[in-house]
A and B are shown apart, each in its own frame.
Chain A
């Protein structure tokens, strides 16, 4: 943690001295955002996912998400499904890695087994929604290369190109809010043919512990299929102090209960 603060500090000093390239500026913003969110420790939140097709037909899923902050490597997270009924108790455990593919497991209560999920496929839709797994996983700085595009008042637009060749995107355009702890307001996703595929808008932000901005609503709109997915987060709980033991395969089996 200290190391990264130093890096950023060093970077800032250099950037004052030298004219920055857009790439440097982009990376700087991503790092600033990471830094601003550093130190939350762990959190837990209830989540409702609403899938909507072109005709307005909807379908709901509920889940609980726990996250453990790690700095040497990517965060660990655990998502447990509450509904629909037939997948209740099913839970995914993810170890994000700064470099290389993430590790992911799924616990299936029907057969009481933990199964590893193919690591190189993570660009597909998450439970039929408009979110890909890669949209939901921890946004480690190392997973993208950056290019600063423009500043619109307090909003900073940065292009991010995924490092993983199996990503479903050629680039994302992320809008950071400089004045609100570099929280993300909007992400636009461009598909492999570089056409605008989806827009994710964050809203109903709330400030927790006077430092951490968390949006209560994520709205992902697919411009090509006209389907959309809404994520509704109820209050974040930063009170529970999770440890690494809460993110083990054994913990995974307990998670949905």
Chain B
């Protein structure tokens, strides 16, 4: 113990020497830190990446499976433009002409490889003895009313169109533009496509005001991610205002506020430099870094400034003395809290979702720099700025403060409080287990986002946004023409169509049936897959020879004609339902087909569905590491093994409470929330450190018993804890206004957790501290014995 105490003393001496050094060389220190901040900022570069692929690590098995499928067929990112004419009827000459026009201009979309619309649908029919394949409505301007009625009848009967390109009433239609993004620089390619699409849609709306136009698809999804990053980055503006207001309120000093602002801005500038140096591209989760850093870094400055001003105003110390004393008292706590926060954020690297690695690393770097600036730039600035003292500001509070009252309340009934708290925590922990993962990426965006509103309209009126794809193999070259394969594929298609989740199925068996029928004079009894392999192969050859540019079958048949792609479009269902559906389909293939036809369901939807689970699994180890490291830091900081262990309770339970309350609030958690354990642990541990260290100081240095020490801790840090909690809450409250659920849910549950942490630190922690010191002699605590002056000893 002695050696450690010496270490503690040497820290005090070190902090004092540091402060004296900084004050002595205030100008060089200030200049150096300015150069450091500007130097880092000059390396800064903020680029955004909206490609949904960024959410998946390279080794993500769902991503690998989906990429493999895309390489086998075609890589399809798409833009779905949905048109709803005011007259509620797609099939009028005027509307068809407009659709044809938009289809033609859609071919000019950058990187487009295919455009599917109702008008250019390749309709097959028998004309005489020949197979005739042509656009369903070509040169619509020349059509008569009777012809248009015929086109309508054909379209509404067409399985490939209905519920995909056209709705049952014929009142809403889609144009699906497939783009093949080179993927060299998605930060440039996606905006290029988006700008072109928006321009095209605007021109269309101007020319044809009778249409309402909605846009969805993977490219607009990427754009929505992109724009969410930018709008969340912009939250920093509000946060800066809050920081200025809170700092001014707490310090009542202009220069203190200004210095704090300098420290947090330097921290953010450094973090931006870090982004530039590491080449990180910002994504919605990582774009919140400035608000995070701002929220967390401001606490360091506030601690140092409040103590300094207190020493100067109430103890009448001069500026330099007050500054050195404040640094001596706060150096260690600020260091410890920064260290735990950095550890908490770094554990995000254990997860499987790259944007959160970035968030963790950027914020950790920013926090490390915040510590540096808080202990250099801040004291240097305060040493330079004058300190205006108000005469008569020094007054002693004689009445018992509210924190003392709270302390008295706790020490009167520690056992009861402990039991009640633990029961409540136990109940909420049970509730926490009821949360289910849900990463429906459309619902990442709230109603304020156009993409969400448009996607909802399309889901309600035309088709689904989510899908699952299967690459169904035949096991031999050219085997897709094997009648046995076709029949089983057809059975799979039928089975999929029977599932309640399924809106539409696109399978090669439908092509085979359709061509077979047209080869037999459009005889409906031949609307079945061919029963002879040569026939199937030769019909397919004929059909393929009859297709125009861009509307070929390469997107659903592989080069070897050994596998075909089955796409099931689904209703809006939760991630759990999605996974269950895919498992059912895989099982059906397993039970009803031979081995080569077995396949697993893949798609972006599936990738997101499993992302939360994957992140939770991989973060589990990270959380354990965070807990162990942070508990170790606490043990060393407090120089007490037992209390270090005890601290695990107030450090872990807020998260359980948070998720318990969340179960009552939403019940669904997303990938963004998985990281909160490590992150909040690093933040809320500060409360515990402050409270326990004051408790220990009272026991060790002042010789108080457990109950007196609790009162002492309340009096000395009660206010500081509430203050920092308020700052943190306002920061995360700002983030919770994000339109992007990965961020807003994360921020909301953090708000709950931080609040819970404060309550637990004020009720359960002191109760446990008293109970664990039970064996010692009880001393009657008389409130009046506790002198308010103790407060000044913070």
Which positions in A face B, CB cutoff 8 Å? 51-55, 57-59, 81, 84-87, 90, 92, 104, 106, 108-111, 113, 115-118, 120-128, 132-133, 166-168, 191-193, 195, 224-225, 227
- With known contacts A110-B535, A118-B133, A128-B554, A57–B519 Cβ distance under 8 A: no
Contact partners of B553 in chain A: CB under 8 A: 128
Chain A minimum-CB-distance residue to B133: A118
CA distance A92 to B546 in the complex (A): 12
Q: Find A133's partner among B110, B132, B545 (CB 8 Å cutoff).
A: B545
CB contact between B559 and one of A51, A90, A132 (< 8 Å): that residue: A51
B559 touches A127 (CB 8 A): no
Shortest distance in angstroms between A194's beta carbon and chain B's nearest beta carbon? 8
- Residue B550 lies at the interface, judged by CB distance under 8 Å to chain A: yes
**Chain B: minimal CB distance from A197 (Å):** 9
Given contacts A124-B544, A224-B111, contact A108 B538 (CB under 8 A): yes
A84-B478, A225-B180 known; 17 other A-B pairs, CB under 8 Å? A58-B560, A86-B478, A86-B481, A87-B537, A87-B541, A110-B537, A113-B129, A115-B542, A116-B130, A117-B546, A120-B134, A120-B548, A121-B546, A127-B541, A191-B549, A224-B113, A224-B180
Interface residues of B (CB under 8 A from A): 71-72, 74, 107-113, 122, 129-134, 180, 477-478, 481, 519, 532-539, 541-542, 544-554, 557-561
Bound Cα distance A133, B549 (Å): 10
A124 touches B478 (CB 8 A): no
Contact indicator A117/B550 (Cβ below 8 Å): no
B545 touches A106 (CB 8 A): yes
Q: In terms of DSSP, what is the predominant structure of the interface of chain A?
A: loop
A121 touches B538 (CB 8 A): no
Closest to A114 in B: B129
Q: Is the CB of A118 within 8 A of B478?
A: no
Contact present for A110 and B130 (CB under 8 Å): no
Residue with the highest number of chain B CB atoms closer than 10 Å, among A110, A123, A126, A127: A110
Is B558 in contact with A53, judged by CB distance below 8 angstroms?
Answer: yes
Complex CA gap A122/B478 in Å reads 23
Would you give the shortest CB distance from A65 to chain B, in whole angstroms? 15
Q: Which residue of A lies closest to B555 (CB)?
A: A225
Q: Nearest A residue to B196 by beta-carbon distance? A: A193
Q: In the complex, which residue of chain A has the Cβ closest to the Cβ of B73?
A: A53
CB distance A86 to B545 under 8 Å?
A: no
Question: Is B549 touching A132 in the complex (CB atoms < 8 A)?
Answer: yes
Which of these, B71, B74, B539, contacts A108 with CB under 8 Å? B539
Shortest beta-carbon distance from A255 to chain B in Å: 14
Q: Which of A51, A57, A126 contacts B545 (CB 8 A)?
A: A126
B71 in contact with A111 (CB, 8 Å)? no
Answer whether A124 and B545 are a contact pair too, CB < 8 Å, given A57-B559, A115-B131, A118-B131: yes
A166 to B548, CA, bound (A): 8
Q: Which of B112, B113, B547 contacts A225 (CB 8 A)?
A: B113
Give the nearest-CB partner of A124 in chain B: B547
Measured in the bound complex, the distance between the Cα atoms of B70 and A54 in whole Å is 10
Report Cα–Cα, A122/B133, bound state, in Å: 11
Cα-based distance from A115 to B131 in the complex (angstroms):
7
Q: Which 9 A-B pairs have the closest CB atoms?
A: A168-B549, A123-B549, A86-B537, A110-B534, A124-B547, A116-B130, A59-B560, A110-B535, A108-B538
Q: Would B561 and A128 count as touching, CB distance under 8 A?
A: yes
Does the CB pair A115–B549 fall under 8 Å? no
Residue of B nearest to A116 (CB): B130
Cβ–Cβ contact A111 & B519, under 8 A = yes
B548 and A106 contacting across the interface, CB-CB below 8 Å:
no
In the complex, which residues of chain B have a beta carbon less than 8 angstroms from the beta carbon of A55?
71-72
The residue among A58, A121, A122, A125 with the most chain B CB atoms within 10 A of its own CB is: A121
Judging by beta carbons under 8 Å apart, are B545 and A127 in contact?
Answer: yes
Q: Which residue of A lies closest to B126 (CB)?
A: A115
- B561/A193 in contact, CB under 8 A: no
Across the interface, which residues of B come within 8 angstroms of A192, CB to CB? 107-108, 549
Give bound CA distance, A57 to B561, whole Å. Answer: 12
Are A106 and B561 within 8 A (Cβ)? no
Indicate whether A92 sits within 8 Å of B112 (C-beta atoms), given known contacts A53-B559, A110-B532, A128-B559. no
| Contact B542–A117 (Cβ < 8 Å) | yes
Contact present for B134 and A86 (CB under 8 Å): no
Which one of B74, B134, B535 lies within 8 Å of A118 (CB-CB)? B134
Contacts of B481 in A (CB 8 A): 86
Q: How far is the CA of A126 from the CA of B72 in the complex (A)?
A: 18
In the bound complex, CA of A81 to CA of B109 (Å): 37
Partner of A85, one of B478, B549, B559: B478
- B441 CB, nearest partner CB in chain A, Å: 26
Question: What residues of A have a CB within 8 angstroms of the CB of B560 in the complex?
Answer: 57-59
Q: Say yes or no: B559 contacts A59, CB within 8 Å.
A: yes
